[in-house]
Amino acid sequence: MSQRTKIKALLQSQQTEIDVTVKGWVRAFRSNRFIALNDGSTNNNIQIVVDFENTDPALLKRITVGAALSVEGKLIASLGKGQTVEVVATEIEILGDSDPEKYPIQPKKHSLEFLRENAHLRFRTSTFGAIFRVRNSLAFAVHQFFQERGFVYLHTPVITASDAEGAGETFHVTNFDLDNIPKTETGEIDFKQDFFGRATNLTVSGQLEGELGAMALSDIYTFGPTFRAENSNTTRHLAEFWMIEPEVAFNDLVDNMDLAEDMLKYVIKYALDKNADDIEFLTQRLTEEEKTKPQNERSEMTLLEKLQFCLNNDFERLTYTEAIDILKESTPNKKKKFVYPVEGWGTDLQSEHERYLVEKHFKKPVILTDYPKEIKAFYMRQNDDGKTVRAMDILFPGIGEIVGGSQREERLDKLEQRMNEMGIPTEELWWYLDTRRFGSCPHAGFGLGFERLVLFVTGMGNIRDVIPFPRFPKNAEF
Ligand code: ATP
Ligand code: MN
């Protein structure tokens, strides 16, 4: 009998008194008798009961935390508390030993920082098992949401010569010998001799290419790795993250907001249904963590309540201008409690301002629209007031910005004029401008940072804990 049954299925089994094979890693072994075994299919362990009196002591010694086992035995209704079924072992095989003196993951609470340094093994903890199962469900749900609506999944390039945001926070891609970089006569780097014959970088966004797809396929989305060399050591930024970018022909900003809100609710609901156990576990984890904070810093809702609240309430929609008015009049601003006082119209909102709107004022997700054109990208559609653009940012409690999007400028003359004002070379983006020359039409899209979504749904506090192997300044281990 080599067919293994996953622990999740065993724990749900309606049948008992059946022979089973189960494989997994030891989470705990107590009284030389009870093994808690986990195979990652669920946060719950199956209890293996060992007949220690009739088991070779040498084998018993090798049943240590972290060891990989194959167990044959009988599934029975459990007599003990805490589980409905357990496996009475008839045969135990050690597939892989784990030296208890050296194995870093002990059956006790480890700090998240410690586990980040042991990211190769942190999957074996209950917290990270739950996080990565939830992450998996969210990724699947994103695809299912768009596929059900007839969107085409478009793969935009990872290597590009354009910097979509013009922010310049890109990683260079080159195969130059770094000790001997070819220079031109005037002493500049001679990219003509580089692999692509020009300067290239890792993508910061698939949007511009996504727009090209939408101008023929109508509804597309991308879902891929994105790279930003921003040296911001925050709990919300990674150097490598995954972004979902839908782009839809004929949509305006309201359609765009509706799409984003529907999508967020859909994927959160999917994870709630699919990963009820994991979210329950993460809810308890967060509640425990919050107990260590002073009362006034604890959130009023549990994780589960926050997720349900998000599903059951419309996101608040208001303009940037309205938000500025609210912030100016707010108590923390008047009492000078903000680190950055609200400067007035035209400046970018600080994350403390965004969080005030979401967490204190509206107490729910907020969509801000119609930002000053000076603080937004060149491709956003210009409003008739001459001052604002059809931008939208979605702000989430505890996260801040989770989505950034806009209706795009589809009028060639307006777009070129804005690019000139902002010093963006129109010749280089000839292919982008061609869509405005041939059959241009209104269209809109947005970018959702996937890890920020996973942060929200898992209730974790640091983005480095919701991607398997985080890339951030001075860290590319594993
Ligand atoms: P922020 O102001 O938070 O840096 P941004 O304005 O740079 O965000 P966009 O360029 O609009 O963000 O990117 C779209 C989305 O991608 C953001 O709403 C966010 O969810 C996500 N995102 C942006 N930068 C990062 C990053 N460095 N790490 C993880 N996610 C990110
Ligand atoms: Mn940024």
- Tell me, in angstroms, the distance from the centre of ligand 2 to residue 452's CA: 12
Partners of 475 in beta bridges? 472
Structure confidence at residue 233 (pLDDT): 86
pLDDT at position 1 over 60? no
248 CB-contact burial (10 Å; exposed 0-12 / middle 13-18 / buried 19+): buried
pLDDT at position 143 over 60? yes
- Tokens 């362990």 label which residue? 45
β-strand 316-319 against 366-372: which pairing, if any? parallel
Q: Minimal CA–CA distance to 419: which of 362, 365, 379, 470?
A: 379
pLDDT confidence tier of residue 300, bands split at 50, 70 and 90: confident
Structure confidence at residue 295 (pLDDT): 87
pLDDT at position 322 over 60? yes
pLDDT confidence tier of residue 80, bands split at 50, 70 and 90: confident
Determine if ligand 1 sits within 6 Å of the CB of residue 241: yes
- Contacts (Cβ under 8 Å, ≥6 apart) of 7: 22, 24, 37, 38, 39, 41, 42, 44, 45, 46
What's the Cα-to-Cα distance from 157 to each of 222, 228, 404, rounded to whole Å? 10, 15, 20
DSSP alpha helices (H): ranges in 102-252?
112-117, 126-148, 207-217
Q: Minimal CA–CA distance to 37: which of 4, 15, 14, 13?
A: 4
Determine if ligand 1 sits within 6 Å of the CB of residue 447: yes
What does the DSSP assignment read for 357-426?
A: IIIIIS-S-EEEEEEEGGGS-TTBPBPTTSSEEEEEEEEETTTEEEEEEEEB---HHHHHHHHHHHT--T
> What is the CA 455 to chain-centroid distance, rounded?
6
Ligand 1 atom nearest residue 232's Cα = 27
Give the number of other Cβ atoms within 10 Å of residue 88's Cβ.
14
Q: What tokens appear for 228 in the block?
A: 């930003």
Determine if ligand 1 sits within 6 Å of the CB of residue 210: no
pLDDT at position 83 over 90? no
- Tell me, in angstroms, the distance from the centre of ligand 2 to residue 56's CA: 59
Residue 459 to residue 278: CA distance in whole angstroms: 11
Determine if ligand 1 sits within 6 Å of the CB of residue 380: no
Q: Which ligand is nearest to the CA of 228?
A: 1
Structure confidence at residue 342 (pLDDT): 92
Residue 106 to residue 26: CA distance in whole angstroms: 11
Residue 77 to residue 14: CA distance in whole angstroms: 10
pLDDT confidence tier of residue 163, bands split at 50, 70 and 90: low
More confident residue, 19 or 81: 19
pLDDT confidence tier of residue 167, bands split at 50, 70 and 90: low
Determine if ligand 1 sits within 6 Å of the CB of residue 228: yes
3-state secondary structure of 108: coil
Q: Which ligand is nearest to the CA of 206?
A: 1
pLDDT confidence tier of residue 165, bands split at 50, 70 and 90: low
What does the DSSP assignment read for 31-98?
A: TTTEEEEE-SSSSSPEEEE--GGGS-HHHHHT--TT-EEEEEEEEEE--STT-SEEEEEEEEEEEE--
Ligand 1 atom nearest residue 400's Cα = 3
pTM: 0.96
- Tell me, in angstroms, the distance from the centre of ligand 1 to residue 241's CA: 9
| Average pLDDT estimate for 271-298 | 95
Mutate to test the pocket of ligand 1, among 170, 208, 227, 237 (most ligand atoms within 8 A of CB): 237
Determine if ligand 1 sits within 6 Å of the CB of residue 453: no
Is 341 within 8 Å of 333 (Cβ atoms)? yes
pLDDT confidence tier of residue 299, bands split at 50, 70 and 90: confident
Give, as one character, the DSSP assignment of residue 240: E
The CA-to-CA distance between both ends of the chain, in Å, stands at 36
pLDDT confidence tier of residue 76, bands split at 50, 70 and 90: very high
Structure confidence at residue 2 (pLDDT): 61
Lowest mean pLDDT among 129-133, 294-298, 373-377: 294-298
pLDDT at position 164 over 60? no
pLDDT confidence tier of residue 166, bands split at 50, 70 and 90: low
- Tell me, in angstroms, the distance from the centre of ligand 1 to residue 61's CA: 50
> What rounded mean pLDDT belongs to the chain?
95
Is 41 within 8 Å of 7 (Cβ atoms)? yes
Report the nearest-CA residue for atom 29 of ligand 1: 237
Q: Which long-range contacts (CB under 8 A, 24 or more apart) does 111-120 make?
A: 112/462, 112/465, 115/465, 116/464, 116/465, 116/470, 117/477, 119/468, 119/469, 119/470, 119/477, 119/478, 120/478
Mutate to test the pocket of ligand 1, among 203, 376, 392, 401 (most ligand atoms within 8 A of CB): 401
- Tell me, in angstroms, the distance from the centre of ligand 1 to residue 204's CA: 10
Report the nearest-CA residue for atom 27 of ligand 1: 237
pLDDT at position 440 over 60? yes
Tell me the per-residue pLDDT of 44-54, one tens digit each, with 9 for 90 and over: 999 999 999 99
- Crossing angle of helices 450-458/276-291, nearest 10°? 70
Report the nearest-CA residue for atom 22 of ligand 1: 449
Report the nearest-CA residue for atom 24 of ligand 1: 237
- Tell me, in angstroms, the distance from the centre of ligand 2 to residue 311's CA: 27
- Tell me, in angstroms, the distance from the centre of ligand 1 to residue 152's CA: 23
- Tokens 């805490």 label which residue? 82
Determine if ligand 1 sits within 6 Å of the CB of residue 402: yes
Give the number of other Cβ atoms within 10 Å of residue 469's Cβ.
13
Structure confidence at residue 8 (pLDDT): 97
Tell me the per-residue pLDDT of 333-390, one tens digit each, with 9 for 90 and over: 999 999 999 988 999 999 899 999 999 999 999 999 999 999 999 999 999 999 999 9
Sign for the CA dihedral angle at 232, 208, 267, 358 comes to positive
Report the nearest-CA residue for atom 23 of ligand 1: 449
Q: Which ligand is nearest to the CA of 393?
A: 1
Residue 376 to residue 344: CA distance in whole angstroms: 17
Residue 11 to residue 83: CA distance in whole angstroms: 8
Tell me the per-residue pLDDT of 392-426, one tens digit each, with 9 for 90 and over: 999 999 899 999 999 999 999 999 999 999 999 99
